[in-house]
């Protein structure tokens, strides 16, 4: 996060140890809370505009969170980040998070394109787990976006992690997390097999619903596999705008 102005968020305390008992922690988190408001406002505007334009509801649900102090400290420890405010600010880019739940797989790329193309938004990082799922079957489209936050005496550009996924992807991810939390990461093989089957079923559901939607909207067109050719082109177009020549794998 870069700061326009002479003072960092915590002034001379910026090199002090970051602890959950720090008296200025609320001030540290304030720009992240504001950045969430900025991004969710952008999402809400897109929802209204797209719904009015074509009667389709691409965004079904939006949730957000700011990491707790304990969560920030835990991640800093895991990645070997020094426990200072400046180091945490520079190295932990998902303190603020927004999740957008879409109805269809194509909507995830559509929303990502629209948000990342706005003039005051800077794309820091893209991880496409829809086209390239994690080994456990997790699917979602992740971006780190940097947004301007206008405070009383300065403008701060604040990173926000944006996750965009379908309803089926979100349901699977939530259940997978609950399984691992319940079994404290020692998940019985039977449940791992069920999760594997479930992620494939969720993927097939997304394909079927996308194909059905495409055929209803344009019944005379020839429709490729929905999570196939045209989605791959959407992903490559999105990635190539920010990393020319690097291709779709990030």
User: What is residue 24's predicted lDDT score, i.e. its pLDDT?
Assistant: 75
d(CA 61, CA 58) in angstroms, rounded, equals: 9
CA-based torsion, 66, 69, 71, 72: positive or negative: positive
Of 104, 138, 128, the closest CA to residue 239 belongs to: 128
Beta-ladder partners of 164: 100, 141
Per-residue confidence (pLDDT) for residue 56, from 0 to 100: 83
153-209 pLDDT tens trace: 999 999 999 999 999 999 999 999 999 999 987 899 999 999 999 999 999 999 999
Residue 96 pLDDT > 70 = yes
Is 80 exceeded by the pLDDT of residue 17?
no
State the Cα torsion 56-61-94-157 to the nearest 10°: 60
This model's pTM is above 0.95: no
Which one is catalytic: 146, 161, 176, 235? 161
Lowest-pLDDT choice from 134-148, 166-180, 231-245: 231-245
Select from 83, 128, 88 the least CA-distant residue to 232.
Answer: 128
- Contact between 248 and 239 (Cβ < 8 Å): yes
Q: 55 by DSSP, 3-state: which?
A: coil
Query: 161 an active-site residue?
Result: yes
* C-alpha span between 47 and 58 (Å, rounded): 7
**CATH code that applies to domain 2-167+225-242:** 3.30.460.10
pLDDT at 5: 31
**How many other CB atoms are there within 10 angstroms of residue 3's CB atom?**
17
Closest CA to 206 of 191, 187, 225: 225
Q: What is the pLDDT of residues 47-83, one digit of tens each?
A: 999 988 877 889 999 999 999 999 999 999 999 999 8
Q: Give me the residue spans of the domains in the chain.
A: 2-167+225-242
CA 49, chain centre distance (Å)? 21
At 48, list the tokens. Answer: 């209204």
230, two tokens? 């045209």
């Amino acid at each position: 996060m870069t700061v326009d102005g002479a003072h960092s968020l915590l002034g001379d305390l910026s090199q002090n140890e970051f602890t959950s008992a720090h008296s200025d922690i609320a001030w540290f988190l304030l720009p992240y809370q504001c950045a969430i408001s900025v991004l969710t406002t952008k999402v809400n505007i897109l929802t209204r505009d797209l719904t009015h334009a074509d009667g389709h509801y691409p965004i079904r649900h939006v949730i957000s969170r700011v990491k707790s102090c304990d969560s920030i400290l835990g991640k800093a420890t895991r990645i070997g980040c020094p426990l200072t405010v400046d180091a945490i600010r520079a190295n932990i880019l998902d303190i603020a998070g927004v999740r957008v739940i879409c109805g269809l797989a194509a909507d995830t790329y559509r929303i990502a394109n629209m948000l990342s193309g706005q003039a005051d938004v800077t794309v820091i990082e893209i991880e496409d787990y829809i086209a390239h799922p994690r080994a456990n079957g997790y699917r979602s489209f992740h971006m780190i976006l940097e947004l301007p936050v206008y405070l009383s005496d300065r403008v701060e550009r604040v990173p926000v992690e944006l996750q965009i996924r379908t309803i089926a992807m979100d349901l699977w991810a939530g259940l997978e997390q609950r399984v691992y939390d319940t079994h404290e990461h020692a998940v019985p093989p039977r449940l791992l097999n069920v999760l594997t089957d479930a992620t494939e079923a969720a993927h097939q559901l997304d394909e079927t619903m996308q194909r059905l939607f495409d055929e209803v909207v344009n019944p005379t067109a020839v429709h490729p596999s929905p999570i196939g050719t045209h989605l791959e082109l959407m992903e490559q177009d999105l990635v190539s705008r920010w990393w020319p020549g690097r291709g779709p794998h990030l």
